[in-house]
Every structure is written in structure tokens, then in C-alpha cells.
Structure 1
């Protein structure tokens, strides 16, 4: 009993210790006019010395020398950069706080086939990590369940909100599958023989295909009004068959991706490849079949001995050259997604066009999540989810985010890191 009480108290204290004290922004109450900034619109190029007006959470006007509405808040942003909010895909933001503390880890559910799991359900809007990532321009993040064969469904949430309900941009957008291994691991921690590994890989693939067969049978029975009850697993997958949901396949190896493409083609699913380290090897096929890629390895060592040292950095440029529709992400990241804009900047250094790089972390992720009509670019009619930086947001040394608005509500950019910095800079 004493040990149990100690564990409960420790868990309570750890939960309290990781709750930030930044208050979510209030709903926009007056027009806001950003005057004289450099607008990185994404869809209409870069506009210098241009004004942007937003009211009731929507961008209502863009142009030079806009008239000032009555009761408007006017902010001089001359010499500064204005961007649409950055959208971070394939994250565990709000699902984990401290990797070493199990009580703060809600990334996965028990079992291999758990499509009914929704990432937003376990999302902690009070995570100390959230304010630190939005300080680098991230206004939205896709929250993704992890590990299981069919891990669950992801949702796109705003990085400012009291609960997941008021932070929701799009819920249960797609079903996430971690594709079974196809190769043999020779890592020191792998204790299974090659034959045992091959058998396990084959069993996982068989289990995955069986799940789709069962889900389709459930869907057909539902369409025919012949269900005897509700199975929450297959209910969560019905959107794949009626076209309202996407299939997100997490895979790196070329062979895994080819298997996933074959399965998606057989079932008629809209496929998104996530991670996709080897995407450059099948770029022409991806472009020809109009398959979207969430490239989640913008940094890293070569996968094979005969690959170039800079393969991870140069892959976005290779995908763009082949005509692949792609976004850049930090796969399964949470605290490290704060560097997403810098990863895009690094891709520019290795051949990617700068406008394409910006689109890969703004508009392209919005398209993947089905919300490009609302966010991802600076356009009249879209949500006022944007930020102002004192320099190029993709430059580690030059960027400095000074203002952020999500749906027109101003976001508090303070965070734990800044608080500690302000504290210790006063130390004698």
C-alpha cells in the first residue's frame, strides 16, 4: 500500500510539473492590420511592403496601403517577414512529455490492430513542449498514434487551446499503418535468427491484410444494413472504403513502399507514405501514381554503405525534380519538431527551391490533412493563422518569431525555455 501511494503521489506531481502556464489566446474582437511587411504568401509569391488585414479570424484583405478599419489594431511590421503558420506532420506532440517517465507517455495502445484509437483523445494541451515548438512558428500539428501494426487515426490540432475540442482543425483524418519489415536486421540487439525474422515479417503482413479483409466485410455488411452490432475497430476504418479517409503508411524501405502501393491500388485507398526514407529510389513511380509523401528524414546518416553522405538532405530536391507531391516532417517527433523550418532551410541548401521548401511545411501539409482551403498560405478568405518573424524563418541564425495568431487570436509566445533563460541571465 505504501509503494502504491508513493507511485500515485509521484505521478500526480509529475503531471503538475509538466503543465505550462500560458493562457490560450482570446477570440479576435477587433480588426488587425499588419502594415508594410514582406508577405510570404506561398501561393502568390513574396510581396514586399504589403499590408494584411484580418477580421473575425479570417484574412479579409491583402495589398499596399490598405485603409484602416474603424477600431482596428494597427501593427507596423515593416522590414519583417510574415508567414502562414507552419504545419508539423507525423508528431507525438502532447502525447509524451518525458521519455524516461512512463506515466507521461500515451503514444500507443495495447494490441497490434487498434484503428479505433484517436491521437487527439490522449492529447495534453498543457504540455510544456507545445509553447516551445510554436515559438518557432508551428501553429498546427498532426497528432499520430504510434507503434502498432494498425496504430489508429490522426488528427490535426492547433498548438493553442484549452482542450483538443477547441484546438481541433481536423479530427480522424486518416488511418495509420506501420508497414511490416521486409528486411533482415543485423543489429546487435536483434536476437532472432534470419529465418525467425522472415517468418515474423510474413506473419505481420498476413495479419495486416486479414484486418483489411475483415474491415471490408464489416463495411459491406453496414452498407447492406446487415450488421449485428458495432465493432469499433472496423467502424474506424469505414472511411477508407467510402473515400472519406486516407491511408497513412509508415515505411522507409523501397520494398515496403512498393508493397503498400500495391495494396492501396488493390483496395482503391488514397495513400500517403510517411517517413519514406527511400522515396528517392521510386520517385518516378510516386509521381506517376500521384502518391503523396510525408518525408520524415530531413536529417540523418545514409541508409546504405554506397549512398551519398548527403542523401537525407538532398532527397527533397530529388522528389521535387521528379514531380512528387511531398511535405517535409520530423517523423514521430515532439520536442524536436521545433526545428522543422530549419530542416526545410537545410533542404534549400541541398538543391530544393526556397518557395517549394516553404510550401513543404505549410501548404503541402495542409493539403495532406485536407484543410488547404483554410490554412497553409496567406490568401483572402483563409484563416488568419500566421506569424511574424524578424528574419527568414528557415534560417537558424536570422529568424526570430515575434507575433503569432491562430484563427485571429493572438498567441502567447512565452515558454519554459524562455522563462529559464530570463531567470539564469540574472544570476551573478
Structure 2
């Protein structure tokens, strides 16, 4: 018993210690003028030697030789690059801190059908991980519940704030479904027979479709004023039927993608395919039907013996060539999403243009989350969520983020990685 108590107390202290000490930025109190930088506007091209002015959290002017308003803070960013904040999609940021400590893992809810779960309610704004991903230019992240058949709803949060309310950019944007497996798992750890797997796959698909039947019945009853009570599960899905919410389907195999597309068309849902490793195989269909793809496999080995060694890297270029509307994500992760910009840069090495790559981690994710009118590009009237880098943000060796602002508030770029670096560089 004494050992058990000691273990619990130690775990409690380890969790408590995993909180960063960076204070969220104060709301913008004076105009800020960045002078002479190279602006990567995303929507209006690259503008060299250009100034950008923002006041009260919004961009008010862009151009050469702008006059500084009274009481303005003027920052020389000559020979530096100014980008809109990067947006990381399909993440568990703030939902998990230490994988080996179960008490810090809040990525999923108990049950198989949990659409009422909202990712932002479990979000920990004090996570040590958050400052490390800000340091690579990420100002916003989509927080997504995981693993259940119907996992819940996702929200887009800023990466600086005291609470999720402070950080909220868009809450409960869509319902997330993990599409049942369409084929057989041949991995060494699979112990079920082929017949058992087929039966389980069919049962999962049946349960998924039944959940939507029940949700639609609930919606129809609500519209008719005949509900006898509130079911929080189906209440969370009503937005799918009235068009105010999106259906995010997590799937990789071509058969899964095709099943999901047919299902969304039958139901009349706005569909976003997430992960979508095999999207290149049906790129023409995705383009023709204007289906949004969040490509989440920018790195990885081939999944079939007849695939090219670089298929994962070349897929973004193939999607772009086919005219598919897509964003790039860094799988489903939290600490590793700091490499989002580098994943986009890697896609450039395999045929994607730099303009398309930058759009795939800025304006395209903003479109997915329904906030492209506010963030995702440098434009007058949009929120001043941006950062300044010494070099190309998509280059491992050249980039060095030096300043960041979210809604005009300057963000503290200190982080655990930098602290440890400064500590151990002094070690004899």
C-alpha cells in the first residue's frame, strides 16, 4: 500500500510539473508596424520590401513606406520573412502530455459512439508541448477527439491563451468519424482470422450507419417539435443535417474513401476526408466532386509492394495536379506537429510548388475550419495572426522564427526545448 501511495503521489507531481511558465500575450494596446519585410501573403503573392501595419488585433495596411501612426511600435524586419500563422489540422495538442502516463492522456472518451465529446473541453493550455510548436510558426491547431467510431467534435484553438475560451477561434466545427476497416489486417499482431475480421468490419459499418439513422430520427423529431427529451449524442449531430456542421471522415484505404464519399452523398453532408493516404488513387473523382482532403501522411513508407518508394512524399503534388482541394497535416499528433512546415517543404522537393505548399498549411486549413475570412493569409481586414522568420519557414536549416503575434498580441516564443538547449550548452 505504501508503494502504491508513493507511486500515485510521484505521478501527481510529474503531471503538475508538466506545465509551462510562459504567460499568454496581452491584447494589442498600440499600433505595430513591421517595416521592410518579405510578405508571404498566400493570396496576393510574395511582396518584397513591404511594410505591414496592424492595430487592435487586425491588419490595417500593407505597402511600401507606410507612415507609422502616433504611438506606434516600429520593428525593422528587413531581409526577414513575414508569414500568416500556420494552422495544424487533426491534432491532439493539449489533450495528451506524456504517453506513458495515463492520467495525462485525454484523447478519447469511453464508448464507441460519442459525438457529444468536444475536443476543446479537455484542452490543457498549460501543456509544455504548446510553446515548442509555436516556435515553428504554428498559431492555431485543430483539437480532435480520437479513436472511437464516432469520436466527437473538433475545435480550432489559438496556441496562446489562459483557457480554451481565450484561445477559441471556432468551436465544434464538425463531427469526426473513424471509418471502419474495409480490408483485412495482415500485420503480425493480428490474431483474428480473415472471417472474424470481415465480420467485425461489417458489424462496425452497420453500427455506424445505425447511429446516423438514429441521429436523423432525432433531428426530424426536433424539427417537428415532437421530442420527449434531449439526447446529447444526437443533439451534437444535428448540425450535420441542417448544414451548419461538417463530417470529418478519417480513412486511408481507397475502399474506405469511396464508401465514405458514397455515404456523404446519400446523406447530403459536407465531407472532409482526413488522413487519406490513398487519395492519389481517386484524385480525379475528388476534384470532380470538390471534396476537401486533409492529407495526413506527408512522410512514410509505401503501403503496397507495387507503390513507389516516394509515394507519400509525392502525393500532394499529384493531388494539386489533379485539381484536388487539399490541406497538409502532420498525421494525428501533438509534439511532432512542430514539423508541419517541414512536411510542406518536403512536398515541394517532390513536385509541389512553394505557393501551393504554403497555402496547404495556412489558407486551406482555414477554409476547412470555416475561418478563412479571418486567418490563413496576410490581407487588410484579417486578424493579425502572423510571425517573422529569419529564413524560409519550410526549410529546416534556414528558418528561425523570431516574432509571433496572434490577434495582434505578441507571443512569448520561449519554450522547454530552448531552455534545455541553453542549459546544456553551458555544461563543461
Aligned equivalent of 2:415: 415
**Using the alignment, how far apart are the partners of 1:127 and 1:11 within structure 2?**
16
Deviations 1:379-427 (A, max 9, x none): 0000000000000000000000000000000000000000000011111
In the TM superposition, what is the alpha-carbon distance from 1:11 to its structure 2 partner? Answer: 3.4
**Using the alignment, how far apart are the partners of 1:7 and 1:215 within structure 2?**
44
Q: How does 1:328-407 map to 2 (within 5 A)?
A: 328-407=328-407
**Using the alignment, how far apart are the partners of 2:186 and 2:15 within structure 1?**
39
In the TM superposition, what is the alpha-carbon distance from 1:188 to its structure 2 partner? Answer: 1.1
In the TM superposition, what is the alpha-carbon distance from 1:163 to its structure 2 partner? Answer: 0.4
TM-score by length of 2: 0.99
Aligned equivalent of 1:242: 242
Q: What's the secondary structure of 2:262's corresponding residue?
A: helix
Aligned equivalent of 1:147: 147
**Using the alignment, how far apart are the partners of 1:315 and 1:401 within structure 2?**
28
Unmatched 5+ residue regions in structure 1? none
Aligned equivalent of 1:17: 17
Let me know the Cα RMSD of the aligned residues: 0.8
Aligned equivalent of 1:33: 33
Aligned equivalent of 2:124: 124
In the TM superposition, what is the alpha-carbon distance from 1:3 to its structure 2 partner? Answer: 5.5
**Using the alignment, how far apart are the partners of 1:5 and 1:191 within structure 2?**
37
- The 4+ residue runs of structure 1 with deviation greater than 6 A are none
Q: How does 1:108-119 map to 2 (within 5 A)?
A: 108-119=108-119
Q: What's the secondary structure of 2:309's corresponding residue?
A: coil
Q: What's the secondary structure of 1:219's corresponding residue?
A: helix
In the TM superposition, what is the alpha-carbon distance from 1:14 to its structure 2 partner? Answer: 1.9
In the TM superposition, what is the alpha-carbon distance from 1:7 to its structure 2 partner? Answer: 4.6
**Using the alignment, how far apart are the partners of 2:12 and 2:416 within structure 1?**
20
Question: Quick check: 1:198 aligned with 2:198?
Answer: yes
Do the aligned partners of residues 13 and 67 (structure 1) sit closer, same or farther apart at CA in structure 2, a change above 3 Å counting?
A: same
Moved more, 10-19 or 174-183: 10-19
Deviations 1:225-253 (A, max 9, x none): 10000000000000000000000000000
In the TM superposition, what is the alpha-carbon distance from 1:10 to its structure 2 partner? Answer: 2.7
In the TM superposition, what is the alpha-carbon distance from 1:332 to its structure 2 partner? Answer: 1.0
Aligned equivalent of 2:167: 167
Q: What's the secondary structure of 1:283's corresponding residue?
A: helix
Aligned equivalent of 1:71: 71
Aligned equivalent of 1:283: 283
Unmatched 5+ residue regions in structure 2? none
**Using the alignment, how far apart are the partners of 1:85 and 1:15 within structure 2?**
29
Q: What's the secondary structure of 1:293's corresponding residue?
A: strand
In the TM superposition, what is the alpha-carbon distance from 1:8 to its structure 2 partner? Answer: 3.9
Q: How does 1:51-70 map to 2 (within 5 A)?
A: 51-70=51-70
In the TM superposition, what is the alpha-carbon distance from 1:331 to its structure 2 partner? Answer: 1.9
Q: What's the secondary structure of 2:176's corresponding residue?
A: strand
